[in-house]
Amino acid sequence: MMERGQKIRKYCIYAAYLLLFTTIQVTFPGLFTFYGIRPDLMFVMVVLCAYMFGFYDGMIFGALTGIIRDYLSAPAITVSEGNVQPAIGLGLLLMVCAAAFGSAFFTVRVKRNFLIAVLSVIAATVLYKACGHLIIYISTNIINGTAYNVGIKGIFLRSVLPQTLLNLAAAVPFYALLKFAGPYSKGINPYLKDERKGGSDLWLTM
Amino acid sequence: MRKLLTNKLFVTVVSLLIILAVIILGAIPGSPLNSFLKPVGAVIDPVQRGVKAAGNSISDFWAALTDGMAIRSENETLRTEIAELQYQINQREEAAIRYEELQEAFHIRETFSNYDIFHAAVLSREADEWFSVLRVGAGTSDGIVVEQGQSLAVVDVRMNLVGRVIEVGDNESTILPLLHEGFRVSGKVNAVNGATFLITGDSSLKQDGLCLVTGITPDTVPSPGDEIVTSGDGGLFPQGIPIGVIESVDTSDELNITAVLRPYSDIADINDIFIMVPLEEPEDVSGTGSGADDGTRSEDS
C-alpha cells in the first residue's frame, strides 16, 4: 500500500501532466507539425498511462484529459440545418476508450515493457484514426449525403501515417517520463501488483 | 454493487453509456449540458495563460541567443550583453509589429461602420485534425451576444476572414475556422459584377491550409490569382471581407467545376482576431434588402 506522501506525490504529478500536456498541445500548435499533423500529446499520455499503471489510473486520467480536451478544443459537428456547434463529450469518449484500450493491450500474459507500450500507442493511434475517418465517411456520405473526398491512400499517407509517427516519437520520452519521473516510484503501480495473482510477473521491464 | 464496480468491463460499458448520453444531450441546441465545462475553465485558463506566457518568453530568449551566436564567437566577454540587447530589440520589434497590426485593425471599424468590432486574443487552437475549433478570449461579459441560429463573422488584423463564432461563453467564444468542413461562405471575385461561388472547408484540403470553391458555372470560371471576397449573400457575413486567392481550377468535369482557394488568414500565426457584431440590422450592401430575408441565408453557414 502507498503512504500518504506517495499518494500526494502521485496526485501532484498526475495534475501536472494533465495541465501541462493538455495546454501545450493547444497553445503551441505549430510545434512539431508534420504534414499538417501534430503529435497528440494527450492521447499518447492516456494510452501509456493506462498501459503502464492499469485500468483505474488510465480511466480517471483519461476522463479528466477528455474533459479538458472538450473544453479547450472540442470538435465541431453539424447538428441541424447546417448549424454547427462544438460537441461536448467526444473528447471524453475518445480518451476513455484510449484508456480502456491501453489498459487491455497485452497486459495479462505479457510483461508490461517498453516495446509493448510503444506498440499500444501505435495500435491505439491507427485504431483512432481509422475509426475517425470511418465515422466521418458515414456521417458525410450517408447521413449528410455529401462527398467525403479523401481516398484510402490519402487517409493513410496524409493522416494515419504522420499521426502514428508523431505519436510514436512522443511516446518514447513520455514512457521515460512516466517510468522515471512518476507518478509512481520506479514506474510501478503497487495497486496493480495487488489486483491480480502473479502480479510480480507484470512489473514494468525496460 | 461493490463487486460490480470492480468489474472493468462493467465500469467501461457504464462509462461509455454515460458519455454517449452526454454527447447526445449536449448536441441538443440550448442544452444545459453545454455549461458543464465552464468550471473547467476556472482551473485550466490560468494554467494555459501561464504556459503561453512561459512559452513566448522562452521562444523570445532562444531567438535572442541564436541571433547573437556569431557575435558570441568573436567576443566571449560581450556575449551576454549582446544577447540581452538582442533580446530587448526582438521584444521591441515584436511590439512595433503588434502596434502596426493593431493600427491596421482600426481600419476595420471605419470600413464596417454598421458593425461593432470586438478584439480577442486566441487562447487555444486545434488539438488535432478533428478537434479543431478555436477559443478566443472575449465573451458575453465583453458584450458579445449570439442569438440561436445566428452567427458572427471573425476577421484577423488585416481584415481577412478567419471563421465565425459558433458559441459564446462568459469570457471566451468558440470559433469555427474557415478550413473546417462545416464552414460555408458565399464569395465572389473581387471585381465589378464578379461571379459568386460557395467556399467551403474540405477534409482533403484543410491540412494544406486550403478551401474548396464550388458552385462554378462554365461561364464564370475564376482564374488562378483571382481575389475572392465575401459576397454578402445570406446576410451572415458583410460584403467585401477578403477571403483568399484562387490557387487552381479544375474544369475536367463541366458539371462540377471546382477550384482551390488559399485563404489569406493563417490560423497557425494568428494571435489576435476581431469579432464583428452587427449594431442593429445586418449591413444592407446590395440595396435589395438584407440577406436574412431573401431566402439565401443558407449560403453562409
Question: Is A140–B181 a contact, with Cβ atoms under 8 angstroms apart?
Answer: yes
Q: What is the mean pLDDT of residues A2-10?
A: 81
pLDDT for res B103:
65
**B257-263 vs A83-86, strand pairing mode:** unpaired
Domain ranges in chain B are 1-104, 115-278
HSE-CB for A14 with a 13 A CA cutoff: 24
Q: What is the mean pLDDT of residues A83-91?
A: 81
Find, in chain B, the residue whose alpha carbon is nearest to that of A24: B51
> Beta partners for B184?
B200
Top CATH class, B115-278: mainly beta
Q: Tell me which amino acid residue A159 is.
A: S
Alpha-carbon span A89 to A66, nearest angstrom: 8
Q: Which residues pair with B259 in a beta bridge?
A: B213, B249
Candidates A17, A26, A144, A159, partner chain B, best to mutate (most B CBs within 10 A): A26
Side-chain half-sphere CA neighbours of B220 within 13 A: 16
Helix (H, G, I), strand (E, B) or coil at B212: strand
pTM, full prediction: 0.68
Question: Quick check: B173 and B135 in contact, CB under 8 A?
Answer: yes
Q: Do A27 and B51 touch (CB under 8 A)?
A: yes
Complex ipTM above 0.85?
no
Which tens digits make up the pLDDT trace of B22-72?
888 877 777 777 777 778 878 888 888 888 888 888 877 887 777 766 666
Check CB contact under 8 Å for B126 and A29. yes
Is B129 in Cβ contact with A36 (below 8 Å)? yes
As a whole number, mean pLDDT of residues A152-179 equals 88
What angle do the packed helices B8-26 and A90-104 form, to 10 degrees?
Answer: 160
Asked if B36 is an interface residue toward chain A (Cβ–Cβ < 8 A), one would say: yes
- The size of the A-B interface in CB pairs under 8 A is 170
Distance to chain A for B166, nearest Cα, Å: 6
Cα–Cα distance, B179 to A76 (Å, whole number): 12
Among chain A residues, the shortest Cα distance to B27 is held by A87
User: Residue A175: its pLDDT value, please?
Assistant: 92
B12 CB neighbours in chain A (<8 A) are 59, 96, 100
What is the CB neighbour count within 10 angstroms for residue A165? 16
- Spatial separation of the C-alpha atoms in residues B203 and B206, rounded to whole Å: 6
- CA-CA-CA-CA torsion sign (A25, A27, A30, A31): negative
B68 φ, ψ (degrees, to nearest 5): -90, 10
